[in-house]
Amino acid sequence: MSHTLSPALSCGDQAFRDFAAACQAAVDADGDVQGEIARLTGDFAASWRMPDLRYMQLQPDADYASYLLYLSPASDLSIVLDIFMAGQAAVTHNHLSWGVFTCLEGTELERYYDAPADLSSAPVEKGSRLRPPGIVTLAAPEINAFHQVECAEGDRSVSLHLYGSDIGRIERHQWDGTEGRYRSFVGGYSNDVLGLPVYLSTADVAARP
């Protein structure tokens, strides 16, 4: 049976293939996974930009676009590309896995919150930070580790996100300020809405270049 190359390899993006393979090796090594992923992400993001413009589209009727670029066989590593236009923002949410983030284009504003471990009361903002290109930030896996992200400067922000789970498929929590309560949600991926495959398959990560 013939093998169809992933979009990443079809457009000659060997740099992303090497990055995904290095991140997969870090996860499999089971050391300081988040720290090593952060180091790899900072080095990679300094020069990489998405070459396939299909993965730079907005998602209609959504607060932002979120594309799955790679998912490990054990679903313990996902690499995602998020695109926020000016004025767009994510809801306040948690991750339930470690996270590593960096902007490739534009600047994002991140607000982070204190919340009780049993989610019995509203999250309280404890600070904020700008995330311009070149800055790598981390997210904790605890249930009460909430943050919110928006495009802060420029016409759009494009950012790379890595997680220790299949982040678009797991059930997480968001804060509904209108109703004053936490809601369960599953984020999904823009790939599904726009009919795009995962940018790089596990088979093409495993294959030698």
**Residue ranges covered by each domain of the chain:** 9-194
Q: Which of 194, 174, 187, 193 is nearest to 80 (CA)?
A: 187
How many distinct helices (H) and strands (E) make up the chain?
5, 8
What stretch of H or E contains 108?
strand 99-114
> 9-194 falls under which CATH superfamily?
Jelly Rolls (2.60.120.10)
| Rounded to 5°, angle at Cα 185 from 128 and 106 | 35
Q: Which of 159, 172, 139 is nearest to 84 (CA)?
A: 159
pLDDT of residue 21: 97
The tokens for 60 are: 């209609």
- E strands present in 115-145: 124-131, 136-139
pLDDT greater than 60 at residue 94 = yes
C-alpha to C-alpha distance for 162 and 46, rounded to whole angstroms: 16
pLDDT of residue 4: 87
pLDDT greater than 60 at residue 36 = yes
What stretch of H or E contains 155?
strand 146-163
pLDDT greater than 60 at residue 209 = no
pLDDT greater than 90 at residue 30 = no
Please state, for a pLDDT cut of 70, what percent of the chain lies above it. Answer: 98
